[in-house]
Amino acid sequence: MGFVSSSRSSTRPVITQLDRSIYLASRSPRRRELLAQIGVRFQVLMFRDRPEADAELDETPLAGEVPGAYVERLARAKAQAGWKRLEQRSLPRSAVLAADTTVALAGRILGKPADRIEAAAMLAELSGRRHEVLTAVALKDEARMECALSVSEVEFRALSAEDIRQYVATGECDDKAGGYAIQGRAAQFVAGLRGSFSGVMGLPLYETAQLLERMSAPRDRRK
């Protein structure tokens, strides 16, 4: 039985435009592109080091931690770290958006591979099987923090050893949860997808728009 894309209501949240932008606490070019796609005005809140290098942002799963709780914890921690840096640098106050993505196979978290050998091993495990891609989005301002979770199911076709070798050699697997990027060459491996394509990329736009609406963050309104 093939996959059928999940449907959403055609009603879109209308976000009131304010004379300020939000901060994006992420180095990811794909998250910047996705946020711009829905007209959100933002500034990138750069970290001197990678956010995960911070002791408070250890990406090691906790004992017994399930994938959904794992990505929500990291997204919240990244938003909190972004807010802390905003205060340290005395930047104008505005909401901080952060996200975290992981792959789960039969409930087991497959994070970012340590090297290309591990990336190849992950792809071999995903070959011919269905797995989940979970992305949590957190939005923090002075008064509160809210978080939303997107869970999608992806099915890979069977991958040969040569398929994996050639893909890993491109370097596209580097620093990617599960060892692949669906928006790149790995798209040819995807036999089915149920859920959010943008969520699998790293920023689920429906959930992000809902968070922005609830917290009244700005978004361009185009006729």
Which of 19, 54, 100, 163 does the annotation list as catalytic?
100
Rg (CA), the chain: 18
Structure tokens at 50: 């990678």
The angle formed by the CA atoms of residues 153, 1 and 202, to the nearest 5 degrees, is 15
Distance (Å, whole) CA 40 – CA 73: 24
- 100 catalytic residue (yes or no): yes
Answer for the pair 217, 139: CB distance below 8 angstroms, yes or no: yes
H-state helical runs in the chain: 29-37, 67-88, 116-126, 161-169, 197-201, 205-214
Secondary structure class of 51 (helix, strand, coil): helix
What residues act catalytically? Answer: 100
